Amino acid sequence: MKRAHKKILGSIGLGVVVATTAVAATIPSPMAAAVTAGSVTDTIKVTVLSPNPDLIPSTDKGDIITTPDYDFSVYYSSLLHIKATLVNYDADGNIKYSEVLWDEDLDGSAGSKDFDLNLDDYGGYGNFAITFTGTGGEGVEVEQILSVAYVIDARDIETNPDTGEADTEVSVPSSDVSSIETYVYDSDGALVRILKADPETGVLNVYDASGNLLFTINDGYEYGVLVIAMTGLSAGDYSGKIVFRDASGDLVSGMILLNIKHQTSEIIVPDTGNFFQGLNISREDYLITGLIAFMVIGVVAFGIVKRNHSDATHVKSGRINGKNRR
């Protein structure tokens, strides 16, 4: 009976599938309906209204140069308009010069433009940002920013692990300079220290980031050598800049950029509690002591096992001999 029911259901299912397939075959596809109308075939055209604009400068961001000549090119494609704006910022981050270098309509084809700049003509020393903005179809925009630091010099210095200090030669660029200031930043770019030296007396005052006086070095600037005091800061990589100011506090000339590797002579003491921490025991001392203790315990344990084994042998021998005597 069950087998008969299964045959009936199977036949019905097969009929449904055949009927559905036949109906589907008679329905025209949506694409065919859209293309064919009254035996007239229409042509479908796709128009790209939003091309992908491209804008590529030939130089990397973050260049550091010590001469005013700055040459580069910019490559572009699929642009209808392009604009390039130059802004020069001083060491305090204030805009000192701004100018539009290029502002032109384009036809969307690919091309390039060369720039040969003398940065002395655009405000001189400072941090330059050249912003390129291109506009493609339907107002699609693309932007690239070139940044370059035009400085007196860029130097890598290392502090002395014993003193936490470094020094570098600094020539005062003008007789108007009344203060040589060094700003030190941590790896995240946060200001952590300010140093102010008087080129006349050589006195160097060291401040924290809030301007609180930490200590003074009487010969912090002597014979053209400036001390970079890092005492009290954690070991690590820092950045810095040296700027020059006149009696009114205005910037004089350019700046010197610094990459500072700060080294300390601090001894790492294991955190083992007040008692052991006071003993100033190093990790190597712990390792050697542990090995010696392990060896001593091993020898003692071996002796105990050997003695127990010997006693067990004697007891067993005595029992065997006693049994034989009986």
Q: What is the pLDDT of residues 49-59, one digit of tens each?
A: 345 788 899 88
Two structure tokens written together for 9:
């259901």
Domain ranges across the chain = 2-34, 54-150, 153-262, 279-307
pLDDT > 70: percent of the chain: 66
Q: What's the pTM?
A: 0.65
* Residue 88: strand pairing partners: 97, 128
Architecture of domain 153-262: Sandwich (2.60)
108 in Cβ contact with 133 (< 8 Å) = no
Fold of 54-150: Immunoglobulin-like (2.60.40)
The two most distant CA atoms of the chain are separated, in Å, by 128
CA angle in degrees (0–180, nearest 5) for 46-52-53: 140
Residue 324 has pLDDT above 90, yes or no: no
- What does the pLDDT read at residue 279? 52
Write out pLDDT tens, residues 226-264: 999 999 999 999 999 999 999 999 999 999 999 999 999
